[in-house]
């Protein structure tokens, strides 16, 4: 059976430091390319940081039609895997929690988070659920809290995709992180069983301001079973050869 190599990055946070985030993308994309990967996924809000304060988010957000965004694309690798990168987007005055899809420095498309937490009042909810294709693999995207809602995953399955990417940032207060430590994969596994989709998550790790992030960055099969996972508290790349049906 044919397969396609997919990769998820588990990274430290880069907050209001796009340059450092881009350097991380270049470094990890080079590793993924050397390993023959077709797809590399980064966490939620990766480019600017998961900023929910409106003033901070507006200061860092990028309009995808702007020259600043075009300059950013020019700094991304011109070869190697397709990239899925979480970012803060500004469009016609509205803020969106977005994941962009880029290949060889070219913008392919975007997904905007549809289900927003109470702390994300500064953002507008997305309404579309596009899918994308690379090397015979069709995939769609959910962003973190989206995976708590069966309809979000079902919209991806309805496009004919076989893989759901979960772009996440679980930098939580320690007591909350402890509570949810083993629940993330359980919830995501429900979405797999309901839809028959594979799922790959990409999350942050580290500590700041009384908060901790452990991930998980993992791959779940269509039965909801974890088939690969990085250690909870270590940055790294998770490689997986996904079978193509």
Q: Are strands 39-41 and 3-10 parallel, antiparallel or unpaired?
A: parallel
For 50, the 3-state DSSP assignment is coil
Whole-model pTM above 0.95? Answer: yes
Cα-Cα end-to-end distance for the chain: 8
Q: Please give the average per-residue pLDDT across 118-125, as a whole number.
A: 97
Chain segment 154-209, per-residue pLDDT in tens = 999 999 999 999 999 999 999 999 888 889 999 999 999 999 999 999 999 999 99
Q: Could you write out the DSSP letters of every residue in 147-191?
A: GGSHHHHHHHHTTT-SEEEEE----EEHHHHHHHTTHHHHHHHHH
Chain segment 67-77, per-residue pLDDT in tens = 999 999 999 99
């Amino acid at each position: 059976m044919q397969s396609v190599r997919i990769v998820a990055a588990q990274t430290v946070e880069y907050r209001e430091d796009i340059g450092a985030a881009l350097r991380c993308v270049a470094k990890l994309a080079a590793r993924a390319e050397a390993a023959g990967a077709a797809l590399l996924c980064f966490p939620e809000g990766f480019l600017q940081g998961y900023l929910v304060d409106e003033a901070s988010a507006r200061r860092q957000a990028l309009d995808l039609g702007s020259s600043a965004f075009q300059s950013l694309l020019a700094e991304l690798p011109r070869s190697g895997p397709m990239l899925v990168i979480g970012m803060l987007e500004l469009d016609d005055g509205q803020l969106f929690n977005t994941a962009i899809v880029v290949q060889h420095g070219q913008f392919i498309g975007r997904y905007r988070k549809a289900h927003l937490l109470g702390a994300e009042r500064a953002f507008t909810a997305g309404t579309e659920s596009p899918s994308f294709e690379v090397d015979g693999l069709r995939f769609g995207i959910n962003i973190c809290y989206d995976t708590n809602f069966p309809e979000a995953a079902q919209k991806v399955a309805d496009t004919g995709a076989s893989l759901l990417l979960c772009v996440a940032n679980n930098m939580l207060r320690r007591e909350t992180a402890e509570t949810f430590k083993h629940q993330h994969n359980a919830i995501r596994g429900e979405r797999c069983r309901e839809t028959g989709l594979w799922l790959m998550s990409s999350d942050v790790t580290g500590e700041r301001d009384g908060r901790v992030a452990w991930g998980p960055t993992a791959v779940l099969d269509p039965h909801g079973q974890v088939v690969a996972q990085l250690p909870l508290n270590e940055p790294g790349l998770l490689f997986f050869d996904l079978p193509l049906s």
